[in-house]
């Protein structure tokens, strides 16, 4: 598949069948995540793959609330993405330039994971709205670490590729300058 087709096919799937996900496929997604670029090649990530049914159900219970993310109950796999402390140089660089490089790195790695999942015909959803404390406690992740994202993975219940809701290309770029003052 060419890259643009893959990027179009990747979508947030919010409902999965109960067909188990092959661990080999998950490991290919992790390999894709591992290939992501990161500031000073610091690779500040660790992935806790939860596919044991009881634990998965407990983690799911921390990823939904009254209004959000009820679909997680159907996901056979939940992956908690742990932010590892980057080495000194990228940490210092982040302070000097006032940029959270490690969060950018994690976002890119998460998307690599999801794109490989799309290639495998697996559905994913990146989840940022969840009870981080509860997830950390359940998975034995030390208090001092952050879990910016959880990724749900499964065989999508509905494999229709939806039309993307996106800004027009003309709205998001310009050559040689920024002329959106006052927008």
Residues forming contacts to ligand FMN in the complex (CB under 6 A) are 11-12, 14, 68-69, 125-129, 164
User: What is the Cα–Cα distance from 180 to 183, expressed in whole angstroms?
Assistant: 5
What would the two tokens of residue 37 be?
């670029």
Least distance from ligand FMN to the Cβ atom of residue 98, Å? 20
14 or 56, CB closer to ligand FMN?
A: 14
Least distance from ligand FMN to the Cβ atom of residue 57, Å? 18
127 or 147, CB closer to ligand FMN?
A: 127
Least distance from ligand FMN to the Cβ atom of residue 97, Å? 21
Contacts of residues 98-101 at CB distance under 8 Å and 24 or more positions apart, as own/partner, are 101/38, 101/39, 101/42
42 or 69, CB closer to ligand FMN?
A: 69
* Beta-ladder partners of 47: 81
Query: Could you give phi then psi for residue 55, rounded to 5 degrees?
Result: -65, -40
Least distance from ligand FMN to the Cβ atom of residue 128, Å? 3
Which one, of 42, 75, 48, lies nearest residue 140 by Cα? 48
22 or 65, CB closer to ligand FMN?
A: 65
For residue 73, what is the enclosing H or E element?
none
36 or 126, CB closer to ligand FMN?
A: 126
Least distance from ligand FMN to the Cβ atom of residue 29, Å? 16
Longest CA–CA span in the chain (Å) reads 54
Closest-by-Cβ residue to ligand FMN is: 128
Q: How far is CA 128 from the centre of its chain?
A: 8
């Amino acid at each position: 598949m060419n890259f643009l087709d893959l990027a179009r096919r990747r979508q947030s799937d919010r409902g999965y069948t109960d067909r188990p996900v092959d661990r080999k496929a998950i490991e290919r997604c992790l390999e894709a995540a591992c290939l992501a670029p990161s500031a000073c090649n610091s690779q500040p990530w660790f992935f806790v793959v939860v596919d044991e049914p009881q634990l998965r159900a407990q983690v799911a219970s921390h990823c939904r609330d009254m209004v959000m993310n009820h679909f997680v109950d159907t996901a056979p796999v939940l992956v908690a993405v742990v932010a590892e402390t980057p080495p000194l140089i990228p940490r210092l660089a982040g302070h000097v330039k006032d940029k959270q490089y490690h969060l950018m790195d994690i976002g890119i790695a998460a998307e690599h994971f999801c794109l490989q999942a799309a290639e495998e015909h697996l559905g994913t959803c990146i989840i940022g709205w969840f009870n981080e404390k509860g997830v950390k406690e359940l998975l034995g992740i030390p208090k001092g670490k952050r879990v910016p994202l959880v990724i749900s993975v499964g065989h999508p219940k509905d494999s229709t590729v939806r039309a993307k809701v996106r800004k027009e290309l003309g709205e998001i770029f310009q050559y040689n300058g920024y002329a959106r003052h006052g927008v």
